[in-house]
Amino acid sequence: MSQRPDHRLSIIVTGRVQGVGYRFFSKENARVFGITGWVRNCANGNVELEAQGKKALLDQFCKVLKKGPLFGQVSELLSREIEIIRNENAFKIHY
């Protein structure tokens, strides 16, 4: 990212979000919006993310996450602000 991030979100996504490419979808859109952080599947069927960047770009990223990939169906996206991680420079899929 060329600019310093000013927000970091912890995000939980519920619905049909596993087995539909949601993690890859998240990573690709993070690249588009210049977002750093990570995404992983949860044992309960949800997807969990941490996303960091400029607030306006995070807002756009979250709108895209709410839509989800073609074969997914997002029921709810819950987010809360958390502490920024300095010097983070990528968005990763955790397995």
Q: What is the pLDDT along the chain (95 residues), one digit of tens a residue?
A: 447 899 999 999 999 999 999 999 999 999 999 999 999 999 999 999 999 999 999 999 999 999 999 999 999 999 999 999 999 999 999 98
For residue 60, give the H/E element and its range. Answer: helix 55-67
Q: What is the pLDDT of residue 1?
A: 41
3-class state of residue 2 by DSSP: coil
pTM: 0.94
Q: Is 86 a catalytic residue?
A: no
Q: What is the CATH number of domain 7-93?
A: 3.30.70.100
Please pick, among 23, 29, 44, 80, the residue that the annotation labels catalytic.
Answer: 23
- Active site includes 23? yes
Q: Looking at 16, 31, 41, 46, which residue is catalytic?
A: 41
- Residues, the chain, total? 95
Q: Where are the domains of the chain?
A: 7-93
CA–CA distance, 62 with 65 (Å, rounded to integer)? 5
User: What pLDDT is stored for residue 94 in this prediction?
Assistant: 96
